[in-house]
Structure 1
Amino acid sequence: MGGRFDITLVAKDSLTAEQNIDTIITEITRIENLISDWRPNTQISQVNRNAGIAPVKVDPEVFALTQRALHLSKITNGAFDISFAAMDRIWKFDGSMTSMPTPEAIKKSVEKVGYQNIVLDAKASTIFLKYKGMKIGFGALGEGYATDRCRNMMLAKGINSGIVNGSGDMSTWGQQPDGKPWNIGITNPMHKDTLLAIVPLLKSAVVTSGSYEKFVVFNGKRYSHIINPATGYPVTGLCSVTVFGPSAEVANGLSTSMMVLGKTKGLQLIKKHPGYSCIMITDDGRVITYRLNLKRYRL
């Protein structure tokens, strides 16, 4: 899935742990070979190649994941959009940009983006993208989905404690060998070498979306690498959103959406998802929490 996975298991011996780590790697590879949009032989790549041409039959697993992603696109009015994969990458965050893209270029960059033009046929298990040049991708859900799957597999196999971390999409379960909970450090975006808090986790997932590492500044205004798929412009207002809850897939979808929606609409979104809590940090350094008493965990 284009990212790094770190796997930690607590098992009765090292051989059992290694065998189950191999099982996790096999499962991650299987999922990647289904949903990657940059590997040419996956079902999603086939869907993208057939945009504007014909529906493509996919496995029930791929269809269900697409269905959930499309639902998220709808309830956020496109703040989250799985057709974002078609956006032209006109914003560069590698130091090479010397001026803002023109409004015309920004508008053109999102011409092929639009979840409304994705057609799902549940009976036939097909996905159809209405227009040529459209693409779908699971960059914001795939790793969370994979970590959730691996956690559930390990629990079913009797591995009662561990962490699967897919590039920051983290599914945890059980406890450390000493009986203490797993802990997650929340980075302070204003001082990246320090932590705001260390929060304990049990059977939980945690995902952070942040704009504080990749950005450009024009005329004194900061533009982050997280792009609003509806407008083509970088998001502003929030520099970090961390979401806690039972599913890394859902937490990732929420954190990404909340970055785009901003503080007020982001809070409205997470309020509709019982069991999920968040920490939001604004561009000016204010810390906002929901369903989480951060004072308990501050350093």
Structure 2
Amino acid sequence: MTKYQTRFQMMGTFIDLMIYHPNGEQLIKDAYIQLYQYARRFTVNQPDSELMYVNKNAGVAPIVVRPDLFQLITIAKEISMDAANPFNIAIGPLVKTWRIGFKNAKVPMRDEISAKLPLVDPKNIFLNEHDQSVYLAQPNMEIDLGAIAKGYFADEVKKKLVNAGVEHGFINLGGNVLTIGHSPNNTNRAWNVGIQNPLAERGSVVRVIPLKGCSMVTSGINERFFEVNGQRYHHLLDTQTGMPISTDIASITIISKHSIDGEIWSTAGFLSCTHDAIFYLNQQTDIEAVVISKSGQIHVTDGLIDDGAHIFICDGKSPWQAWAYES
């Protein structure tokens, strides 16, 4: 089989694509264009994006959007309405106040944060299924899809590649990994994907998860942060307080069939402690999780056999159809 692969920068990160297919060069070019179009339309970092047109009309008028953006906002709002977790697509005003991940990041004044809290209620996002419109009821509200978009993009890229006949491949959107089939070159017939140690230098891996057709997504307090007077402020914000989430969790890795689920639950699982996170994530269907605490302890959900000798298979009729033992 002929292997084609590439690496490029987009969406503020490195993206890796690898596929085995006779027409792989063209398929990779098509995937690049697909990702580029998504990145331009769904971002809040470009004033002329489709999403920012919705945000600029907050408190003014409903905006009709294309079906894919409407679908993604609908999914994200549904998760945001669950007060039991910190996932919230209405978080835009807080994100822009903190600016974590940008050079001008700062600790906002308490009154600045208080002024933003009324603007981050997802109940004020109104969706009209009939005309596919989105209306933000309060002026200065902003939807931010940063906690879900890459997962959606990865799933859509995979869908297009599979429809083109790709049976083996690897999509990595800045650590958001989605596999197609198995690796033809690995003896265990899996894609072996490492979980970053959130307490060590980048590149340090705490364990390797063999995947076949599955997704693996990690969120952690080490991904984007800044420090002021010895205090670290990470990018995962609590919309109840306006501050970074107070937790003993360092990172959450989600294994799932679809990458969008990994994106959702790697953020939604960031509760106040590892015990609560594992309990909550065990209630969710078709996902498994590895939660690493700030003390370095590793916790896993009930369905994850934690010995490194099994492969997650997501190619069957159900996401957890089988465990395949490899010696």
Same-fold call, TM > 0.5? Answer: yes
How far did residue 115 of structure 1 move? 0.8
- Cα distance in 2 for partners of 1:22, 1:95 equals 32
Superposition map of 1:192-207 within 5 A: 192=201, 193-207=203-217
Q: Name the structure with the higher helix share.
A: 1
Q: Would you say the 8 A contact 1:9–1:162 is kept in 2?
A: yes
Structure ranking higher on relative contact order (CA contacts 8 Å, 6+ apart): 1
Query: Shift of the alpha carbon at 1:170?
Result: 1.4
User: Which stretch of structure 1 is more off in the superposition, 231-240 or 220-229?
Assistant: 220-229
**Partner secondary structure for residue 75 of structure 1:** coil
Percent identity between the aligned chains? 25
Q: Is the 8 A contact 1:90 1:106 kept in 2?
A: no
Shift of 1:149: 0.6
Closer, same or farther in 2 for the Cα pair 1:216/1:62, shift >3 Å? closer
Query: Are the aligned partners of 1:91 and 1:101 in contact in 2 as well (CA < 8 Å)?
Result: no
Distance 1:90 1:155, change over 3 A: closer
Three-state SS of the structure 2 residue aligned to 1:259 is coil
Correspondence list, 1:60-71, <5 A: 60-71=67-78
Match in the other structure for 1:266: 277
Which structure 2 residues correspond to residues 217-296 of structure 1 after superposition, within 5 A? 222-235=232-245, 236-260=247-271, 262-290=273-301, 291-296=303-308
- Is structure 2 residue 175 aligned with structure 1 residue 168? yes
Q: What residue ranges of structure 2 are gaps of 5+ in the alignment? A: 1-10, 311-327
Deviation string for 1:39-63 (max 9, x for gaps)? 3333211111110000011122211
Residue 181 in structure 1 maps to residue 193 in structure 2: no
Secondary structure at 2:292's aligned position in 1? strand
Q: CA, structure 1 residues 93+32, in 2 after alignment: closer, same or farther (shift >3 Å)? A: closer
Aligned partner of residue 185 in structure 2, secondary structure: coil
Whichever residue aligns with residue 97 of structure 2, its letter is R
Distance 1:182 1:282, change over 3 A: same
Q: Greater shift after overlay, 35-44 or 243-252?
A: 35-44
Q: Secondary structure at the match of 1:233?
A: coil
Closer/same/farther in 2, CA of residues 31 and 94 from structure 1, 3 Å limit: closer
Q: Does 1:125 align with 2:136?
A: no
CA pair 127-77 structure 1, distance change in 2 beyond 3 A: farther
Amino acid at match of 1:296: G
Q: How many residues align?
A: 294
Deviations 1:260-292, CA, capped at 9 Å, x for gaps: 454244334322332210100111211111121
Match of 1:138 in 2: 145
Partner Cα separation in structure 1 for residue 103 and residue 249 of structure 2: 22
Distance 1:222 1:40 in 2: 30
Q: 1:10 aligns with which of 2, 8, 20?
A: 20
1:50 is aligned to 2:60: no
Give the drift of 1:101: 4.9
Structure 1 residue ranges without an equivalent (≥5): none
What amino acid is the match of 2:264?
G
Q: Which shows bigger deviation, 201-210 or 87-96?
A: 87-96
Please give the secondary structure, in 1, of the residue aligned with 2:192: strand
TM-score (norm 1): 0.88
**Residues 201-231 of structure 1 deviation map (CA, whole Å, 9 limit, x = unaligned):** 0010010001125445678765423211232
Quickly say closer, same or farther: Cα 1:261–1:71, change in 2 above 3 A: farther
Q: Is the 8 A contact 1:214 1:225 kept in 2?
A: yes
1:95 is displaced (CA, Å) by 9.2
Name the CA shift for 1:58/1:161 in 2 (closer, same or farther; >3 Å). same
Is the contact between residue 65 and residue 134 of structure 2 (CA under 8 Å) also seen in structure 1? yes
- Are 2:100 and 1:89 aligned? no
Q: Which residue of 1 aligns with 2:218?
A: 208
The one-letter amino acid paired with 1:130 is A
Determine if contact 2:249/2:272 at 8 Å carries over to the other structure.
Answer: no
Counterparts of 1:69 and 1:97 in 2: how far apart (Å)?
26
**1:294 partner amino acid:** D
CA change 1:17–1:50 in 2 (3 A) is: same
Whole-angstrom CA distance in 2 between matches of 1:97 and 1:61: 32
